[in-house]
Structure 1
């Protein structure tokens, strides 16, 4: 089995065996063409001489961090260690570039993938939870109140770049930051929160203070994404509602939020009408 860098000629084969990876489909068919020429990432394929048996991608998140994802093995070739061979090649590529840590995200229900990555040296460090809801109208979540208010909400206030480092410094020692191992989301990838990341969020208008809570947000298409939320049991519900208000102000259609797997925080998200 030859593990090599992907080419444009491989794209059609990869699309064909990744279209139905999950019940909802897969993002690989939509993205693979744009990854081929990306020099800040490596996409490798397992080529058995007659067809592509597997694919995987790793991307640089910072000079010392990388993110592994999109590892897929053709259904006809599973159970032969191909995913491990792909990961070994991607890991070697990262270490040659000075990367000291590689992260990945696996759905908690994907037992097979969890067993596999554990065998290849990965370990569980954090359990981020993704909360989401539609903006406007009611929510089907039975734990929520349909978006109706039961208390006043402290409005969110934009944080200036000069204050960003102070908030970033508090993240590693807070309950939420410890549970998230100081990570902040970029879409569905995660990397360590640094002063530079916090300052860039402030410059782009996406760093917010809500009472004693604070958050990093982005607006992607019609989705208002919360990449980080630092709060406490008393203020979490109000902070999440304030962020939902921001999403409405930005005329977003959907609200998405990454939060730490802490009971009081996930309960607050549910009470605000989010599905987890």
Structure 2
């Protein structure tokens, strides 16, 4: 049996995506994550986003790869959604896509580019080492599926962020351990005073306090069937109270799961494992400084 001739890497072209690329990209996504790839659901938004960049890779006119980038702040670009057709892997297409997005971010005057991948994705880790993307932080994902019927006492939802609250949070060791970021599940965002204020205004911040002093705080975000604690800081016993409130809200809102993202060396990991949470994944976040 004669194998079809392997395409050469120098025939790979990178260009801005157009509407006609949707069908071949959705075909590529069909078998990713057992058919549960999120990319088909965001394709139209990415294509319409004038502040982001959606690109594809082609070989002899055939669309065989895709990637997306957006500016989270004027200084920070987030790279995501790299997909390559299985018949065209090994040609350096992922590297070409990421380099093109890094160049786009540099031209937009971003200071850093960030992205993430699962710890089990060996090919992605090798690729990131090859294109010199340093590891920024490792996060563990812990899930709980059992809700609570009893509402914990003394947990509040502040509708605004005070200067004192932000100063408490940004001075906590957890803030540095999270590299001044919070997560919504698979994307890590800069945790700025403005972002925190926005989440507080939307009722996505939970707080415990004693004698008017903050003891613990978390950002709780909702998406489809999952609630995500994408940042948490405070005394372990008070954090436990926040987690119980999150499990109570999971039941109230009829969500399937509560997900918590914690830095790999966080002492809170063991505490959560003792209270109905299970480790379900490890995610690596990378950051590359962009030179002028």
TM-score, shorter chain, exceeding 0.5: yes
* Cα distance, 1:234 vs structure 2: 4.0
More strand by share: 2
Contact 2:146 2:247 in 1 (8 A): yes
The equivalent of 1:206 in structure 2 is 204
* Cα distance, 1:11 vs structure 2: 0.7
The equivalent of 1:179 in structure 2 is 177
The equivalent of 1:90 in structure 2 is 101
**Unaligned segments of structure 1, at least 5 residues:** 137-146
Between the aligned partners of 2:225 and 2:235, the Cα distance in structure 1 is: 28
The equivalent of 1:223 in structure 2 is 226
Structure 1 vs Structure 2 CA RMSD: 2.3
Deviations 1:93-128 (A, max 9, x none): 111112111111111111221111122121111112
Between the aligned partners of 1:88 and 1:253, the Cα distance in structure 2 is: 38
Deviations 1:2-27 (A, max 9, x none): 20011110111111122112346422
**Unaligned segments of structure 2, at least 5 residues:** 1-11, 210-214, 280-292
Q: How does 1:122-271 map to 2 (within 5 A)?
A: 122-136=133-147, 154-163=153-162, 165-211=163-209, 212-271=215-274
Between the aligned partners of 2:184 and 2:149, the Cα distance in structure 1 is: 30
Which segments of structure 1 move beyond 6 Å, counting only runs of 4 or more? none
Contact 1:214 1:230 in 2 (8 A): yes
Distance 1:148 1:34, change over 3 A: closer
* Cα distance, 1:159 vs structure 2: 2.2
The equivalent of 1:108 in structure 2 is 119
Between the aligned partners of 1:54 and 1:75, the Cα distance in structure 2 is: 10
* Cα distance, 1:216 vs structure 2: 1.2
* Cα distance, 1:263 vs structure 2: 4.9
State the TM-score, normalized to the length of structure 1: 0.86
Distance 1:222 1:76, change over 3 A: closer
Q: 2:91 aligns with which of 80, 95, 101?
A: 80
SS across alignment from 1:63? coil
- The number of residues matched between the two structures is 263
